[in-house]
Chains A and B, each alone.
Chain A
Amino acid sequence: MADSALNLRQNLRHYFGLYLTREAVMLALLAGLAVALFTGVTGLSRLYDAQQQSLGNRWFGRGVTDLSERRFDRAVVEFRAALVYAPDDYTYQLNLAEALIGLKQTGQAYAYLINLWDERPDDGLVNMELARIAAQRGQTDQALRYYHNAIYASWSDNASETQAGGQSGFSGNDTTSAERGERRDARLELIEFLLRTGATMKAQSELLALSENVGDDAEQARVGDLYVRAQDYEHALAAYRASLKLNRGNAASLAGAGLAAFELGRYDLAQQYLQAEVDGNPGDTQSADRLKTAELVLRMDPFRSGIPAAERDRAVMEDFAVAGERLKSCGAGGGSGSMTDLSTSWTKINPQITLPVLRKNPDMATEAMNIVFNIERQASAACGTPAGSDLALLLIAKLHEGN
């Protein structure tokens, strides 16, 4: 028994000795030490991370408060402090960029925004800010690119939630009205930019897209205004009418519709809208002047449809007299040769512009009005934009051009 125990001990010692070399033991110990140290450092790391996060949040919170109260300089300092503790935090960087924009430090803001764009090219706010900076710098192509990105981008308030929700990438699916609103605003801003840069055709295309997605009467009115600026009076009138359907008393829409109809030469319609506007808003002198002009046009146009012959003749006589006065005032300033010729023509035909002659010879009215129109056009070119009756005659001339 003792012998077998001894043998066993000797065997064990022999075999352990073979396998448990010094190096093997050391390596095993090292592995154990590595695991132990790893665990220890993990605990330390958690403490450190917690502190960093807490400090970052604290500074970020202060920055958000200052940003909302437009204290941009303080907000910048606080966001920078927050970034010390979380250098790659998207939200911190975005807010810092916003604060820098508030301080008009667009160069620095751009550097942060472009980093953010690299990380999330579908972020609506980042694209908008980049578009604004590009617009400021006159980089039209870049601005267009970023504005379009912004229109189709993701506008979730919490960018990280957007990522978690799997709504990454450009989305045509508007999930919230807030997002729709943001996209609409982005498109509006784009249109403003296009109009400022004189790209009216592009602006009109964007307006068409915008029109499909417009909300209340105020927004419709704004669309109408933009159409006017884009010189698309047809669509402007349609927009204003749509606005008035929602709110008949919308003053801006009334005035706008009146203007659009006026520009389109639909003076009767213009008169209706402008009258309604002036009645409700007597202080709107522009609409009042326009109304007056429209009324003059309607009264002085001898070629409007359905006009009785007597009324037509009376209008011709009045128009001829007004043109004669215009001739005198413009010609007195040393008019050109054409004005002299017109004056001769006017003087020659003047004796025949009487009610009996006009009644007897309807063609005389056309001839007379041709002279009137020529006088007004030449006078406008030579002596400046007319006013009052002369302006009305000029507009009537444009209305019947080619007829």
Chain B
Amino acid sequence: MDREQSEAGTMEAAPGQPAVAPSTSPATAVSSSGGESPLAQSSLAQSPLGSFFGPLGNSPAAMLRSVLREERLFLILSVFIGIFSGLAVVCFRFAIGWCRIYLLGSGTVLTPVRLVLAPTLAGLAIAVIVIHVFPLARGSGVNQTKAALFIYNGEIPLRTAVGKFITAALAIGSGHSLGPEDPSLQIGASLASALGRRMRLSRDRMRLIAPVGAAAGLAAAFNAPISAVLFVIEEVIGRWTAGILGSVVLSAVSSVVVMRWFLGSESMFRIPPVQLERPSELIAYSILGVVGGLASVVFSSGIAVLRPRFKAMPQWTQYFQPAVAGLLIGIIAVLGAPQVMGAGYEYIDQAMHGQFTWQFLALLAGLKIVATLLSFVSGTPGGMFAPTLFIGAMLGAAVGGAEHWLLPHLTVSPGTYALVGMGVLFAGFLRAPMTSVFMVLEVSGNYSIILPVIIANTIAYVISRGLQPIAIFDLLTRQDGLELPSMEEQREEGVLHVEDAMRPVKDPVLDAGDSVGRALQQVSKSDADEFLVRMNPTGWNSVKKEQLAALIAEGKGEVALGSVLPIRLIPHAHPDHPLETALRYVDRWPLVPVVSRADFRKLEGVVSQRDVLERYREFGEG
């Protein structure tokens, strides 16, 4: 029985039998006419909880239907998405760990044979799996989630999650220089999409459910719910509304709770005590911002140049590209830098504890860029978040060490510089400035570092933006032949307001208290056909010259203008309203008054359809 029939409250008649009226038993009475049933009159129905579920006057069935209204259902689903994404990410972490142990060994000093063979053979296997079984598992996952949102109505096949899980775990565990966060994001998005399809959500909700899952996956992977929420809103969705924010937050929190249940709440790496000793150190961090900005440009330029070239190679080379990348990474490891393999979190930890010289740190940063480029452009599934953090940490610690070498009196804590460095690369390479600041704060739990973080991140972002105008995710999108909205460009786009289109009032403004005759006198010299009328006590209306003439012909010359005009008032706008607000009215009303927020009777200007279209045209041309 579908919902409509059940709501009718009538019983289907058995063949040959008259229809029966619903039972009037107090325990099971169902009201079809809207009359109060005993259950609806219960204390539950009258309670605040009952009022949360909407106007009752109906049965528990109506309460249930109220709960399951789509927007509330979406929120409940967000929690489930968070739980499932959290569980998936936990399993993903286990899979990576097991792959690493069985492919590379359990120690930190690995044999050269394994260092070379593991990523190479894994690369071969991954290529075959991706090409023949899970073609959508390629790439990092962030753009694929955006594509789902903007192009495919939120649809991501569940198969993608499975493929990403397997191939990324194999890739990262075998030593490819990639991270687990982006795949976690896509796995979460895919799970969410599958759930949404099962629940038969509306198209609008389906579009939004993928980012909800993405936030859940990323939050669990990072163990940082705030950063994950910010990243998804900043880079995937691009807008803040209360509805989507609530769902995203719920899913992120749920997934982090699940993740911490299994893996504990400790940070990915131990942060030594960090603090700003003197304000003059900000200069040192500014230098880090410059260096980080330049490094970001080098990194993203590498992807911009190499990825299309690799993709353009003959199809048969696609089978070997990940293997060759793995081989080269293995060789780098054997030559003395095994730290470039995998996500590298344990080495970030060591860099923060001053294990390496600054020269070696700088070398590691450079080699990691090379290794990540190799892994990523070869099409190996995996993410760029972890390598970005690695490069930033190494670079930060290197810059700190170099500064201390040049200026020995400068007190340097490698951990502080590494931490700021991570944020710098996050801002410069991934171009998520807000996320980068909160990520550093969330990971370190130390607010005193915020000033150097903001300064360094801003400098890196500005440099990166200046030298590499297209952000990395937009770059990848365009290389894939898709046209997705650029969140960065959207952020920087100017927003047109009503005040940009309105014009000053030149024609007489009539008052509702004026007589019709007097009004006609006022407008007689004007060329305009229609005039605004200020109503009492508030509100606006309009009248045409010919209407006034007709009223006088009817002998209503002495009658107050306000009494003869239609009751329905015309809507008004304010100068700071987005111009699209005025678009809703100008097609129906030739003149829309623009009034002050402090006094609705005070006219700031008027706007018409022509004014609005003219302004948009100028904006498009500019």
Contacts and interface: CB of A to CB of B under 8 A. Distances in A.
B354 A11 contact: no
A395 B582 CA distance: 108
Interface string A1-23: 00100110011011101110111
Centre residue among B73, B258, B270 by max chain A CB count within 10 A? B270
B109 A24 contact: no
A78 B59 CA distance: 67
Given A26-B199, A34-B80, A45-B94, A55 B270 contact: no
A3 B353 CA distance: 82
In the complex, which range does the number of interface residues on chain A fall in? 35 or more
Interface in B415-445: 415
A81 B83 contact: no
Interface string B243-282: 0000000000000001000101010011011000000000
Interface string A81-117: 1011101100000000000000000011011101100
B32 to A, nearest CB: 10
A45 B90 contact: yes
Contacts of B17: 3, 6
A18 B6 contact: yes
Contacts of B3: 21
Contact of A111 (B30, B83, B354): B354
Could you tell me the dominant secondary structure of chain A's interface residues?
helix
Interface in B182-196: 195
B14 A6 contact: yes
Contacts of B198: 26
B11 A81 contact: no
A10 B94 contact: no
B91 interface: yes
Centre residue among B6, B14, B76, B264 by max chain A CB count within 10 A? B6
Nearest to A34: B83
B366 interface: no
Contact of B59 (A13, A18, A38, A42): A18
A88 B270 contact: yes
Nearest to A56: B106
Interface stretch (B20-28, B128-136, B326-334): B20-28
B157 interface: no
A182 B94 CA distance: 43
Interface in A22-66: 22-24, 26-27, 30-31, 33-34, 37-38, 41-42, 44-45, 48, 51-52, 55, 58-59
A144 interface: no
Contacts of A17: 1, 5-6
Contacts of A88: 264, 266, 270
A77 interface: yes
A13 B2 CA distance: 11
Given A44-B91, A59-B107, A13 B68 contact: no
Contacts of B592: none
Given A19-B60, A41-B87, A41-B91, A14 B1 contact: yes
A41 B262 contact: yes
Contact of B270 (A6, A44, A51, A87): A87
The 10 closest A-B pairs by CB, nearest first: A111-B353, A17-B1, A18-B61, A17-B6, A23-B68, A81-B108, A81-B107, A18-B6, A107-B354, A45-B262
22 contacts: A6-B14, A11-B28, A14-B22, A17-B5, A21-B3, A23-B68, A24-B64, A24-B68, A30-B80, A34-B83, A34-B84, A37-B87, A41-B262, A80-B108, A80-B350, A81-B107, A87-B349, A88-B264, A111-B354, A111-B415, A114-B273, A115-B272
